[in-house]
Structure 1
Amino acid sequence: MRFTTVLATLVAAVAAAKDKRTFAVLHHYGQGPLTTCRADPIISPGGPSSHVHTVMGASNFGFNATGETLRQSKCTTAMAKADLSAYWFPTLYFQDPATKLLEPVKMFYMNVYYFFEPTHDDIKAFPVGLKMVSGNAMLRTPPATTGDNQLDPSKGPIQPVQMTCPRSSYDPPSWPADSKGLLAGIASQHDKGAGIGFPFEDCDGYASPLRVDIHFPSCYNPKAGLENYQNNMQFPTDAGDGKSDCPEGWIHTPHIFFETYWNTHELLPRFQSTLGKSSPFVFSNGDVTGFSAHGDFIAGWDEEELQHIIDTCNAGHAGIDTCPGLKYGANDPSDSCTIECPVDEKVDGKLEKLPGNNPLAGWAFGGGDILAPSPSPSPSPSPSPSSKPQPGNGDDNTPPNTTLIAIPSPSKRPSHHGHPHPNPKPSSSASSFSAAAVPAPSPKPSPKPVEPIVHVATVVDTVTVWETTTVYEDDLPAPTGAAEKHAARHYAKHAARRYHRR
């Protein structure tokens, strides 16, 4: 009788999960990312990618990583042991206004939200090897949307990325209210702390510096296949009753959402003079606007474990690793998982140019259609387990060595939006700068790239154990706002540790 009651309760919980959003956050642990590297096995399999990525996830990441090779990894940065997926995104750099030299911004930490949305469909685990890309790495000009997310394909162009910039005061605003994106970012219509493109102010909110948000589609077309990242995924469509469904014959998977925090605030003394005028930050692909925010994912989950999480877990911010009944359990948060990059080049320190020779483009540097630097010659694949390389065409159907930036048409932009966090009303404060009143600068010619000498190093899976001293939240000042409180839940764990190698 007891078993029957428990089973009935479980079935009811699974059914209810389709009527309201449930979620569980995938936390990562350790000292920094898995690697920071010019590698991208989706866009540029077989050799170096055009720009540097910050990589989280399983240790078999490399030039030719697949779901199957990731499943053979020795460790992962993910707290959930069953998740041997790979997650990566462009590295954020800082250009010192005084010296014009470039240096990487420290990644504060990363979360991946696993949302299980209201739907008439059955939500199924990602098949091993599913490849997804979200966002457009080629944008240097404003997207054809407002400053908010738009995730419903029936309501206009998809806008899956956004910036979040919590601040102690929004006067002046982070993004000008009248900006169309030609010389500055675009403010959200619903959240004073969010917009599209880099903000021109310092993100000084409690325990929450600049954050890049990336939503991924959750409808998989099995006819397109796991490898066809350009056509195999789309966002679900509003079914009209508070639920969103996939097209017939498609598979509804979890909706994943990257939150990547970058410690921009610690650099404030060096860009104080530029506040309200410009942004000193640039993605590793040369984008000074932030419009090209994007992320990549290869599924390496144990499918049975992920399905169990989908069907039974609503752990929220406590994390996937706390879900009841996990077969594999959680990793020790005091451990760390890191690998060497297979490209032997300098990606940190003070740099005169971005790795891959990507020219700065957008806003004051010029926009429009540009020709990005060609990727470096592809060396022999790394000796780690790999699959047969596939042709890499960038984030669209352009030729492999060409990146074009399309100028959006002046069509009316939709006002639809979507974001996982509550949005306060927009600020009524007047902007101290206006992008709309000044004509866009003429595009400047891109400098001729100089092909660097690329050395390929043997990839070695390494596991580093760290001892930590934790500063607890009781020792810190109290948060002052909703966004700050959200970030503060993770501050003591991720921001206040002192690591000691042993």
Structure 2
Amino acid sequence: MKWFSIAAALVGPAQAGLRFGCSTLSIQRLDPLVEPGNIPSAHVHQIVGGNGFNATITTSDVSTTANCTTCTFSEDFSNYWTAALYFKARDGRYKRVPIYANADLESGIQGGMTIYYTQLDFNSNGKDNITAFQPGFRMTLGSPTTNTKDAAVKNTGLRYTCLQTVMTRGAETPDFPTKPCPAGIMAIHHFPAQATPTLHIKAMHLLTKVRCWDGKNLDSPDHQSHMFSTTKGAFQNAGPCPSSHPIRVPQLAYETLWNTTGFNDKSLWPTDGSQPFVWSTGDDKGYSTHGDYIFGWKGDSLQKAMDSTCMFTGCGSPNGPLKVQTGAQQNKCAVQNTVTEDTEGWLTSLPGRH
């Protein structure tokens, strides 16, 4: 692919930040990015976004294959997905943990995730310009094969919060909480994997990171090396993009709220006192958490938002640059499951892991 024209992105610095909910599109074993064409994929994913999602997504513009989305902004046909979380009972059976929507966002959304596109932090864009991702762009963070705490600690964009209430936030850990969480577990995914630790302010993170794209590759063999993080660590502002990755793009992040409260009775937990939750990968430590992304905003809608001065709900119509749909409209969007297996009831083994 030809280098993306940097000149095309030379617009005035903006102050835009997107924070919105997407209801659940599907929960099944498909992964068109890491395991394209495999039916089923190795483990169960929870997916949100446009209904163009399938076992294989080869088009350079997925917005042309979708006609609805589970996301608040109706021009966002992107797909966002993570592993699914399960509870393992003392008798060895598994039950998928339900997802609840962010209480601070629009009402009526079923499950899903909170999605962020930010520029510098929640107050400014700094002095650099932001270029939206391009049609065909895709990336991942983390890995389902990560199996050591040292590796998990280094992936600072991947963290958990033991929620005390649905509205509070607190300390983040690289592994699953070891005690029952009063309001569930929040899984946090900041792209790429090497992100700065986050500081919670009420229901928000303070993001002081820069994400840089190489400007020519919409993907890479590992789905990550076409991106670069200039984070210096702690809460310092990140450095400029290097010449190898000169295009500054939005900071993308996911939050998933897993409603573990139905499993907080410790008499159900393992007799050795260990925590009972396990990713669909089979990981009971939390190290293998990961996220996948395929860009699918319609036309230049995301670029218009990044060029504006809107923040969060102010980015929606009638005054903002983006079109908004109701929670009921989001929930109507769905895809038919390609993989027909039980992911809902009490299971003797995790799907795909007999």
**1:251-285: per-residue Cα shift (whole Å, max 9, x none)?**
21110110000100122236565599311100001
CA contact (8 A) 2:140 2:293 kept: yes
1:236 — aligned with what?
230
Q: Write the distance in 1 (CA, Å) between the matches of 2:152 and 2:140.
A: 19
| 3-state DSSP of counterpart to 2:67 | coil
1:331 — aligned with what?
325
1:15 — aligned with what?
13
**1:325-384: per-residue Cα shift (whole Å, max 9, x none)?**
426x11222122111221122222111111111xxxxxxxxxxxxxxxxxxxxxxxxxxx
Match of 1:50 among 19, 31, 42: 42
Equivalences for residues 10-409 of structure 1 within 5 A? 14-15=12-13, 17=15, 23-29=17-23, 33-47=24-38, 48-66=40-58, 67-97=60-90, 99-109=91-101, 110-117=113-120, 118=125, 120-144=127-151, 146=153, 157-167=154-164, 193-205=171-183, 209-217=184-192, 218-226=211-219, 228=221, 229-238=223-232, 242-248=237-243, 249-269=245-265, 271=267, 277-316=273-312, 318=313, 320-321=315-316, 324-326=319-321, 329-335=323-329, 336=331, 337-357=333-353
Q: Write the distance in 2 (CA, Å) between the matches of 1:90 and 1:273.
A: 22
Q: Write the distance in 1 (CA, Å) between the matches of 2:142 and 2:287.
A: 9
One-letter amino acid of the structure 2 residue matched with residue 46 of structure 1 = G
Q: TM-score, normalised by structure 2?
A: 0.77
CA contact (8 A) 1:167 1:202 kept: no
Please give the root-mean-square deviation of Cα atoms over the aligned residues, in Å. Answer: 2.7
Q: Write the distance in 1 (CA, Å) between the matches of 2:247 and 2:78.
A: 19
Task: Pick closer, same or farther for the CA change 1:132–1:297 going to 2, 3 Å.
Answer: same
Task: Pick closer, same or farther for the CA change 1:167–1:71 going to 2, 3 Å.
Answer: same
CA contact (8 A) 1:14 1:312 kept: no
**1:292-339: per-residue Cα shift (whole Å, max 9, x none)?**
1110000001241111111214423x3753583426x11222122111
Deviation at 1:158, TM superposition (A): 4.4
Identity of aligned residues (%): 29
Deviation at 1:102, TM superposition (A): 0.5
Q: Which runs of 5+ in 2 are unaligned?
A: 1-10, 102-112, 193-210
Q: Write the distance in 1 (CA, Å) between the matches of 2:351 and 2:185.
A: 22
Q: TM-score, normalised by structure 1?
A: 0.55
| 3-state DSSP of counterpart to 2:307 | helix
Q: Write the distance in 2 (CA, Å) between the matches of 1:258 and 1:282.
A: 19
2:205 — aligned with what?
none
Q: Write the distance in 2 (CA, Å) between the matches of 1:323 and 1:245.
A: 35
Task: Pick closer, same or farther for the CA change 1:227–1:68 going to 2, 3 Å.
Answer: farther
Q: Write the distance in 2 (CA, Å) between the matches of 1:102 and 1:145.
A: 24
Larger CA Rg, structure 1 vs 2: 1
Relative contact order higher in (CA < 8 Å, ≥ 6 apart) = 2
Q: Write the distance in 2 (CA, Å) between the matches of 1:125 and 1:353.
A: 41
**1:35-78: per-residue Cα shift (whole Å, max 9, x none)?**
11111111000112110100000001011124523432121100
Q: Write the distance in 2 (CA, Å) between the matches of 1:289 and 1:102.
A: 16
Q: Which runs of 5+ in 1 are unaligned?
A: 1-12, 147-156, 169-190, 358-448, 450-502
CA contact (8 A) 2:21 2:71 kept: yes
CA contact (8 A) 1:213 1:260 kept: yes
**Number of residue equivalences:** 301
Deviation at 1:143, TM superposition (A): 2.7
| 3-state DSSP of counterpart to 2:326 | coil
| 3-state DSSP of counterpart to 1:247 | coil
CA contact (8 A) 2:20 2:115 kept: yes
Q: Write the distance in 2 (CA, Å) between the matches of 1:323 and 1:160.
A: 34
| 3-state DSSP of counterpart to 1:266 | helix
Task: Pick closer, same or farther for the CA change 1:162–1:227 going to 2, 3 Å.
Answer: same
